[in-house]
Amino acid sequence: MKVTLNIGSRDFRLVSQRADQSLQHHTLDVPAGIVKDGLITNIPAAAALLREYFQKHGLSSKEVSVCLTGLSFVYRILTLPVIKGIKLKTTIERAAQKEINLPLDELYLDWQIISQNKT
């Protein structure tokens, strides 16, 4: 039996193929704190979770192909009024949240001022 494992930040997705070529799809929800920002942060917990799931569903761990979902990026150019100080960071975060349909606490938000018109 061959197993393909995709490690995401919220779940582990598995596809197993038996000798008769039948495919089975599995999704295993991952508790918070095991994977963060595309990285496994608690290796023992992730290993135990997978070991238990493989045993429960009769999956073999001898031939497993693994994919760790990479970090992707999205960029936006925002036009904002001239703002200074700590209000600038808050304004950018609010504008980014309107533009990007992902929770900001799961993203690396980086920004820079490209130009300023003081009109």
DSSP structure string for the chain: -EEEEEE-SSEEEEEEE-TT--EEEEEEE--TTSEETTEES-HHHHHHHHHHHHHHTT--SSSEEEEEPPP-------------THHHHHHHHHHHHHH--S-GGGS------------
* pTM (predicted TM-score): 0.54
15-71 per-position pLDDT tens digit? 888 777 778 888 988 888 888 766 788 999 999 999 999 999 888 888 888 887 665
- What is the reported pLDDT for 6? 87
Mean of all residue pLDDT scores within the chain: 84
